[in-house]
């Protein structure tokens, strides 16, 4: 089968378009990666070419050796992915050591995979170890999540709890919470290591003053997670535009009521008792 006719590329580029339509991808902002299934590789391999030079990834991901990934191109615009995938994204395979990649399809006018490739692959490596079915990693620049990184403490517990309180759906969708990474230089191994550390236990990482990363088993789940966090962040931005304190909110015991009916276990570290009604209060313990 031709790559361009595959459901995989349709689903991948639809997600890029959906993110653009939400306003999360100004210019070339954001990137998307997908770890291919063996049967997807087998079905599309006839359309691949194995002539391109091997390139350094810039980090080591030995557990992903010889695997194939769909990734957006560096400097490419999400708004162009659906109309011209062959010019704007690529399929890469990793070498037997997990330190080099080769483009086997796409980026027909030249170029390289996203500058965040080290972070994507380091995330995909820890996620595969956590759950073999997690194969999508998504990075975007959602305005409300970013705005909160200027006014909330950059603390996983506080950030998660404040977002949780903005929608009952939040702890149901991401009961393990959000990890917050302080400003670090993007595009390298260090920020990749920090993000992968978050992804060892959580599905969502915030890069302060930059954007967010979400992961999932498919495009719907991953997009839905980003959408849920950004929507809750939007509500919080509205609340904080009115006041620095809440008159009403969801209590820790009310959150605990969700566990059984929804078959989840909300991490108790986020259900601390508040001493005040101030938004962004740091717990004492
Ligand atoms: P790329 O164009 O290299 O994917 O970079 C976009 C981005 O959002 C960097 O964090
Ligand atoms: Zn970015």
- Quick: pLDDT tens for 241-269: 999 999 999 999 999 999 999 999 999 99
Residues with CB under 6 Å of ligand 1 are 28-31, 72, 74-75, 114-116, 139, 186
Coil, helix or strand for 85?
helix
Residues with Cβ–ion distance below 5 A, ligand 2: 211
Q: How far is the CA of 15 from the centre of ligand 2 (A)?
A: 16
pLDDT at 32 over 90: yes
Which CATH number do you get for residue 153?
A: 3.40.225.10
Three-state SS letters, 47-62: HCCCCCCCEECCCCCH
How many domains does one find in the chain? 2
Nearest to residue 127, comparing CAs of 137, 139, 117, 114?
Answer: 137
pLDDT digits 0-9 by tens, 34-78: 999 999 999 999 999 999 999 999 999 999 999 999 999 999 999
Give the active site residue among 7, 53, 60, 116: 116
Closest ligand 1 atom to residue 72 Cα is: 4
pLDDT digits 0-9 by tens, 89-108: 999 999 999 999 999 999 99
pLDDT band at 154 (very low <50, low <70, confident <90, very high): very high
Residues 162 and 86 in one domain: no
pLDDT at 285 over 90: no
Kindly report the pTM of this predicted structure.
0.98
Residues 134 and 232 in one domain: yes
Residues 25 and 12 in one domain: yes
* Average of per-residue pLDDT across 186-215: 98
The pLDDT value recorded for residue 138 is 99
pLDDT digits 0-9 by tens, 170-200: 999 999 999 999 999 999 999 999 999 999 9
Name every residue whose Cβ is closer than 8 Å to that of residue 25 and which is 6 or more positions away in sequence: 16, 19, 77, 78, 79, 140, 141
* Average of per-residue pLDDT across 127-147: 98
Residues 102 and 137 in one domain: no
Residues 140 and 82 in one domain: no
Q: How far is the CA of 31 from the centre of ligand 2 (A)?
A: 7
Q: What percent of the chain has pLDDT over 90?
A: 100
Active site (annotated) includes residue 39 = no
Range of the domain at 42: 1-113
* β-strand pairing of 178-181 with 136-140: unpaired
């Amino acid at each position: 089968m031709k790559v361009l006719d595959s459901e995989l590329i349709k689903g991948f580029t639809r997600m890029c378009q959906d993110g653009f339509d939400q306003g999360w991808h100004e210019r070339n902002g954001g990137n998307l990666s997908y770890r291919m299934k063996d049967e997807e590789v087998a079905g599309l391999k006839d359309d691949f070419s194995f002539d391109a030079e091997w390139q350094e990834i810039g980090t080591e991901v030995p557990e992903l050796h010889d695997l194939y990934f769909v990734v957006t191109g560096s400097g490419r615009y999400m708004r162009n992915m659906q109309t011209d995938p062959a010019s704007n994204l690529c399929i890469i395979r990793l070498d037997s050591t997990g330190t080099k990649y080769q483009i086997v399809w796409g980026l027909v006018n030249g170029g390289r995979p996203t500058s965040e490739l080290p972070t994507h692959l380091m995330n995909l490596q820890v996620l595969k170890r956590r759950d073999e079915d997690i194969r999508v990693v998504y990075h975007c620049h959602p305005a409300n999540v970013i705005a909160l990184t200027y006014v909330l403490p950059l603390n996983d517990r506080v950030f998660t709890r404040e977002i949780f309180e903005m929608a009952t759906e939040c702890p149901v969708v991401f009961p393990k919470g959000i990890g917050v990474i302080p400003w670090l230089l993007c595009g390298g191994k260090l920020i990749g290591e920090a993000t992968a550390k978050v992804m060892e236990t959580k599905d969502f990482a915030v890069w302060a003053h930059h954007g967010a990363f979400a992961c999932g088993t498919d495009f719907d789940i991953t997009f839905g997670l980003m959408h849920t966090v950004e929507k809750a962040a939007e509500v919080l931005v509205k609340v904080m535009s009115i006041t620095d304190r809440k008159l009403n909110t969801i209590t820790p015991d009310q959150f605990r009521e969700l566990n059984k009916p929804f078959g989840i276990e909300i991490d108790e570290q986020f259900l601390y008792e508040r001493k005040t009604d101030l938004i962004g209060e740091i717990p004492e313990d």
